[in-house]
Amino acid sequence: MNFQAKDTSIEQLKADCLVVAASEGDQQNAAFTSVDKLLKGQLSELIRAGDIKTGLGATTLLPGLALGSVKRLLVVGLGKTSPLSRDQFQKVARNIAGKLYSKSIKTAAIALDTIAVKGADDSWQASQVAREITLSSYQYDTTKSEKRKPVALKAVNYVVADKKLLAAAKKGLSHGAAVGEGMNLTRELGNLPGNYCTPAYLASQARSLARNQPKLSVKILKEKEMRELGMGSLLSVAAGSDQEAHLIVMEYKGAAKTVKPHALVGKGITFDSGGISLKPGLGMDEMKFDMCGAASVFGAMKTLLTLAPAINVVAVVAAAENMPNGKATKPGDVITSMSGKTIEVLNTDAEGRLILCDALTYVERFKPQSIIDIATLTGACIVALGKHMSGLYSNDDAMAGELAQLSQAVCDKAWHMPMGDEYQKQLDSNFADIANIGGPHGGSITAACFLSRFTEGFTWAHLDIAGVAWHSGNLKGATGRPVPLLVEYMLSKVGKK
C-alpha cells in the first residue's frame, strides 16, 4: 500500500474516492464544509433527508456525486461527541477501511485531519488510519485451494489542511503502516494450522525475517543445545511430541553495543493438546493460536525493522508442541529448570509457564534493561477481563504503569493486575521447589507469580493475552495484538539508557 500525505486543495484532488466525515448536528469540520460548498449544499440536504447517516462509524458511499477528478464520495459519521476518544476515532478509521475495500476503489483521498481527538495529534490520527487500512488488506488464503483476488486499493492520500502538518502526517502514516504490517505477520502466523506452523517453521520465519537485514541476527537452539544448557522445563513440554522444540533468538541492533537491550519473550506452543492432562475436544482446534505470544514478537520485530529505531532489542521465542505420547511428561513428575529450580508438574496443560521460565532464564545473559513476556497463558485471564484487555503483571509498578498508559494510547489495552506475596503460597509443593499450578483460584495471578520466580533481579512484565490474541466464531482468526503495545513500549525507550 502506498500512503502519502498531501496538502492539496479539495478541488485539485484526484482519486477514485474521497473520504470526509460528518457530525450529527449543524456544526461540521472544515473538510466536510469545503466539499459541501463545492457541491452547493447537497451533502447537508442528504443528511437532513436521512440519506447520509452520521452516527459514529456509519458509512455512506455516494457514487453519483462527482467532484472534479473524484469519482465517489464516502461520508463517515462522527456521532455527537466532540472531541472523539481514541477508541471512537479508531472505529471511524476501521469502518472507512472496510468500506474502501468492499468496493473496487483503487485510489482514495482521506480528509480527516481537522477532526478533534482527545489527547491525540495529527500524527496519531494518520497513524491510526494507515494501521486500520493496512489491517483490512489482510486476507488469509494460505491453505485454501482458491486464492482470493488481490485487493483493489493501492494508494491512499491523507489530506491535511495546512502544509505545516505534512511532516507529522507522513511520520504517522509510516508508523501506522509498519505497525499494521507487523500485526498482519502476527495474524498470518497465528492463523496457520499446527501441521504447517511447527517450531521448525517458526525458526525458518526468523531466518527469513533476518534476510538482508544487517541490524537483525538470528540464532536457533535445538534440543541438544537446550539439554546442554539444562532447560529441563522447556524440554519436558516437548517430550510428548514428534516435533523438535526450538529456542529462537533474534537480536535487533539499532543502537551502540554499549546500550543494554530490552527483551521480548514469546510463548510459542504451536499446538496445545494439553498433553496427558488432555483438553476437551470441543474448540481444541483453536489451540493452534497458543503460539500467538510468539507471533506477536515476530510482528513487533518486523515493525522495528521497518521503523529502524535507535534501540537494541533481544527477542526470544520458546517454540514447542504439547502432545501426549509414551514419553510425555505426566502429572506428578518433577523436572529441573535451567535456573536449577525444581518444578512439580501437577497439570501438563499449564505448559506455557514451563517453556517461558527457561526462556526467561536464558534471556538474563543479555543483561536486559527490561523484559516483557507475552503469552496466551490462562483461561482464568479471560474470566477476569473478557476478550477486551490483556492481563498485565509486573514486579515493577513504574513499568506496569507505563505499559498501561501506552496501551490506552495505542488502543491495545492492558489492565494492571495484582501479584502479591499472598498468592505465591498457592504454588507451594511437597515434592519440589514450586508447583506449576496454584489451584482453582486466581489462576492468571498464580501463573504470573510462577514466572516471577524466574525474573528476580530484573525489571519484568508479563502480558497474558489469552483473551485478546484471537477471535472465535464467524470471525475466527488471530488479531495481531499486542504488537501495537510492544512497539510503542520499545519506541518509548529510544534515547534512554
Based on the residue annotation, tell me whether 453 is a catalytic residue of this protein. no
Query: Could you give all domains of the chain from N- to C-terminal order, each with its CATH number?
Result: 2-161 (3.40.220.10), 184-491 (3.40.630.10)
* Calpha distance 36→308 (Å, rounded): 42
pLDDT of residue 8: 87
pLDDT of residue 53: 94
* Calpha distance 416→463 (Å, rounded): 10
Q: What's the maximum distance between 2 C-alpha atoms anywhere in the chain?
A: 81
Type and span of the H or E element at 378: none
Residue 48 backbone dihedrals phi, psi, to 5 degrees: -65, -30
* Calpha distance 462→57 (Å, rounded): 34
pTM exceeds 0.85: yes
Type and span of the H or E element at 321: strand 312-322
* Calpha distance 424→418 (Å, rounded): 12
* Calpha distance 297→209 (Å, rounded): 12
pLDDT digits (tens, 9 = 90+) for 296-322: 999 999 999 999 999 999 999 999 999
Around Cβ 390, how many Cβ atoms within 10 Å? 25
Buried b or exposed e, range 75-112, using 16+ CB within 10 angstroms: bbbbbeeeebebebbbbbbbbbbebbbeeebebbbbbb
Query: Could you tell me if 292 and 471 are in contact, meaning their C-beta atoms sit under 8 angstroms apart?
Result: no
- Stretches where the chain sits below pLDDT 50 are none
Compute CA 33 distance to the chain's CA centroid, rounded to the nearest angstrom. 37
pLDDT digits (tens, 9 = 90+) for 99-147: 999 888 999 999 998 899 999 988 999 999 999 999 999 999 999 999 9
pLDDT of residue 310: 98
Burial of 421 (0-12, 13-18, 19+ CB in 10 A): exposed
Based on the residue annotation, tell me whether 279 is a catalytic residue of this protein. yes
* Calpha distance 480→482 (Å, rounded): 6
The three grid cell numbers given for residue 15, joined into one nine-digit string: 482519486
Catalytic residue among 154, 279, 330, 341: 279
* Calpha distance 458→263 (Å, rounded): 11
Catalytic residue among 6, 353, 481, 493: 353
* Calpha distance 296→298 (Å, rounded): 5
Compute CA 220 distance to the chain's CA centroid, rounded to the nearest angstrom. 24
Around Cβ 48, how many Cβ atoms within 10 Å? 10
